[in-house]
Amino acid sequence: MSEVRFRNPGWAGNTGEFDLSEADVRGTEYVGERALDGGHPSVAPSLPYMFVQKDPEAPLFEGPYRERFEKIRGRYPTARAALLPALNLAQELRGHISPETMDEVAGLLGLSDAYVRGVATFYTMYNKRPVGRFLIQVCTNISCNLCGADDVLAAFLEHTGTELGETSSDGNFTVAEAECLAACGFPTCVQINSRYFEDVSVDDVPAVLDRLKREVNQGF
Amino acid sequence: MLSECFGDPRARTVAGWKAVGGYEGIARALEIGREATIDDVKASGLRGRGGAGFPTGLKWSFMPKNSARPHYLLCNADESEPGTFKDREIIRWTPHQLIEGCLVGSYAIGASHCYIYLRGEFFESTNVLARALEEAYAEGLVGKDILGSGVDIDITLHVGAGAYICGEETGLMNSLEGRRGEPRIKPPFPAAVGAFGMPSTINNVETLAAAAHIARHGGEWYRQWGTEKSPGTKLFCVSGHVNKPGNYEFPLGFPLMELIEDVCGGIPGGHALKAVIPGGSSVPIMDAGDCRACTLCYEGVEAAGSMLGCASVIVMDETSDIVKQVRRMAHFYAHESCGQCTPCREGTTWATRILQRIEDGRGTEDDLDTLVEISEQMTGTTICVLSDSLAMPIISSIEKFREDYLALIRRGERVGAA
């Protein structure tokens, strides 16, 4: 299997019997390329990506990222409200949110270090330590679990040769367990960086990983 | 209605959405005025689709009139109830359906700003919605003087960072404001003191999408579907052990067994039905007997001993390991508890440990009584309903599937594999 198939985009009355490309399902054609400065202020700061390449030393914030940060600050009635989008932006650049990053963001927004640490540690999606080029999050909550998600998680661990929450020795993969990803009709759902892979079975795991390895080589 | 364009990539654009009657709803609302729009939604009997089922028109009418303070509409797109996957479909296939709903809602409550709080995990769907919103701005459908009406409505996307509790309305407001997503004590209610201290209304994605259609066609039109107490159509998210899981839109009052057996092609491998969780993981579990006569509307599921919630039907066949699944749910709630209230913070963790002990074959019969006792103390004693949401599946599973627990406790026998 060369591509991960979308067997089931799951709309009413058409489940399982359809002919759509991956681009159709993901909407990539419609979305197109998004500028790093994010475009319109109403949407710009809301678009954190998860990139393959991460730069833990990246400055906060320069160039298009500075523009996005300014757009963030301009769109809420309070400075505090910009905190989550600013942390998202920092993670997009650096790949994780270290305590030092939290303090830097605090300084940018005029909030206390302790306050920002309290908020940042509340949210699961802020990686508190570095992750691999691909962060593989396997949903093991009830609907996926009923359909064998534990085995899919085990398969990812086996094929990447890592422990849960750890990063493979080549730096490519970090495998983690995720709570419900809101794709329960397409078990097992796996979030890999910014993308959802749905209907992933144990047998699909090697092909998914091969695809990711190709993407690293292609400089994605 | 809601799902008509799912699977059709053309419906993602403004042109494609207009081709199926899109943006006629907001045009009509602007024509008939605020009060009449609220009256339409009241007449439609639309109930909140986020789980609680509160009448939407009534909620909108709580907003202060003639107040000079800014009003906010908050759209809850933090879909994270296990078993629920309808809002993501609305967003990724029909983003303009949601944008139009947000316009109708904002206009009706007098809000000039709407924040859509999206789940952080929804990168792809957020991108689709972002592109759609940019298109809507460019077409003059959102922003200043929408459709030449003199009304200003801005819509801003706000992305969360992974916390189930931010789907609770006041937790969402705290998170939007850049705080920990801890729910607030009510009163004051959001209509008086909400986001940024201003009058706010929070609606679910599906609610607002439905409101767009109601604004277009009127309230009575919506009542052609559903029951007296649960009018309209609903997206049913079917997951678990069925041949064709997915989102299915039906009028409320649709029979549960027909959904499972006919629409979803029954249970794989010819297995028998064991249990159904009808409304996302936070509601009582039903056994096969409860399911037989159950109809999927707010009052119908209640009569069968559970709650419709957000109509996320999780189907479990005879091979299901109830103890394992309840333990998995408990683990989820323990992970997602915000930690403010002691009964929830401690209770969810205790329950997880006890359930794990039982699953590992080290439980005692007294553990079942302890679980029930903890669950009772977790009910109605906290700021939000997260702890109640775990208490219900625990109590109902012990009541209905006691034998499964006892088989593990007495003989170390696991019932079911999945």
Question: What integer is the mean pLDDT of B283-294?
Answer: 96
User: Tell me, what amino acid is at B369?
Assistant: D
Residue-wise pLDDT tens digits, A39-60: 888 897 767 788 899 999 999 9
Residues 65-84 of A with CB under 8 A from B: 75-78, 80-84
Top pLDDT among A159 and A9 is at A159
Q: For residue A15, what pLDDT band results from cuts at 50, 70 and 90? A: very low
User: What residue spans in chain B does CATH classification 3.40.50.11540 cover?
Assistant: 9-222
Which 3-state string (H, E, C) describes A28-84?
HHHHCCCCCCCCCCCCHHHCCCCCCCCCCCCCCCCCHHHHHHHHHHHCCCCCHHHHH
Fold of A16-129: Arc Repressor Mutant, subunit A (1.10.10)
Question: What integer is the mean pLDDT of A176-194?
Answer: 93
Nearest to B205 by CA among B122, B306, B329: B122
Residue-wise pLDDT tens digits, A204-214: 999 999 999 99
Of B80, B159, B241, the CB nearest to A88: B159
Question: What integer is the mean pLDDT of B5-18?
Answer: 92
Fold of B9-222: Rossmann fold (3.40.50)
Contacts of A118 in chain B (CB under 8 A): 180
B3 vs A11: CB contact, 8 Å cut-off?
A: yes
Top pLDDT among B356 and A199 is at B356
Strand runs labelled E in B169-328? 200-204, 233-240, 246-251, 254-255, 273-277, 286-287, 295-296, 312-317
Q: What is the pLDDT of residue A3?
A: 35
Q: How confident is the prediction for chain A on average, in pLDDT? A: 88
Fold of A134-217: Glutaredoxin (3.40.30)
Least-confidence region, from A17-21, B280-284, B372-376? A17-21
Q: Are strands B273-277 and B286-287 parallel, antiparallel or unpaired?
A: antiparallel
Selecting from 3.40.640.10, 3.40.50.1980, 3.40.50.720, 3.10.20.600, what CATH number does the domain B233-268+275-316 have? 3.10.20.600
User: What residue spans in chain B does CATH classification 3.10.20.600 cover?
Assistant: 233-268+275-316
Give the contacts of B365 (CB within 8 A, at least 6 positions apart): B406, B409, B410
Q: How confident is the prediction for chain B on average, in pLDDT? A: 95
Residue-wise pLDDT tens digits, A73-111: 989 999 999 999 999 999 999 999 999 999 999 999 999
Question: What integer is the mean pLDDT of B329-337?
Answer: 96
Residues 139-158 of A with CB under 8 A from B: 140-143, 145-148
In this complex, is the C-beta atom of B416 within 8 Å of any C-beta atom belonging to chain A? Answer: no
Q: What is the pLDDT of residue A219?
A: 63
Q: Which residue of B has its CA nearest to A6?
A: B7
Q: Which of A4, A50, A84, A112 should be substituted to probe chain B, the one whose Cβ sees the most B Cβ atoms within 10 Å?
A: A84
Q: What is the pLDDT of residue B390?
A: 96
Q: Which residue of A has its CA nearest to B88?
A: A182
Q: Where are the domains of chain A?
A: 16-129, 134-217
Fold of B322-411: de novo design (two linked rop proteins) (1.20.1440)
Instruction: Judge whether B333 and B394 are in contact, CB under 8 Å.
Output: no
- How many residues does the structure list for chain B? 418
A184 vs B161: CB contact, 8 Å cut-off?
A: no
Residue owning tokens 């909108």:
B60
Q: Cα distance from A22 to chain B (closest Cα, Å)?
A: 11
Q: For residue A35, what pLDDT band results from cuts at 50, 70 and 90? A: confident
Question: What integer is the mean pLDDT of B25-42?
Answer: 97
Residue A1 has pLDDT above 70, yes or no: no
Residue-wise pLDDT tens digits, A63-80: 999 999 999 998 999 999
Model ipTM? 0.93
Residue-wise pLDDT tens digits, B71-111: 999 999 999 999 999 999 999 999 999 999 999 999 999 99
In this complex, is the C-beta atom of B192 within 8 Å of any C-beta atom belonging to chain A? Answer: no
A142 vs B328: CB contact, 8 Å cut-off?
A: yes
* pTM of the predicted structure, to 2 decimals: 0.95
A11 vs B93: CB contact, 8 Å cut-off?
A: yes
In this complex, is the C-beta atom of B413 within 8 Å of any C-beta atom belonging to chain A? Answer: no
Q: How far apart are CA B418 and CA B406, in angstroms?
A: 18
Question: What integer is the mean pLDDT of A124-145?
Answer: 96
In this complex, is the C-beta atom of B83 within 8 Å of any C-beta atom belonging to chain A? Answer: yes
User: What residue spans in chain B does CATH classification 1.20.1440.230 cover?
Assistant: 322-411
Residue A9 has pLDDT above 50, yes or no: no
Q: Cα distance from A162 to chain B (closest Cα, Å)?
A: 23
Q: Which of A92, A142, A188, A193 should be substituted to probe chain B, the one whose Cβ sees the most B Cβ atoms within 10 Å?
A: A142
Q: Cα distance from B27 to chain A (closest Cα, Å)?
A: 22
Residue owning tokens 């359909």:
A147
Tokens of residue B25, six digits: 């709803």
In this complex, is the C-beta atom of A106 within 8 Å of any C-beta atom belonging to chain B? Answer: no
Give the contacts of B315 (CB within 8 A, at least 6 positions apart): B238, B239, B240, B241, B242, B260, B264, B267, B273, B276
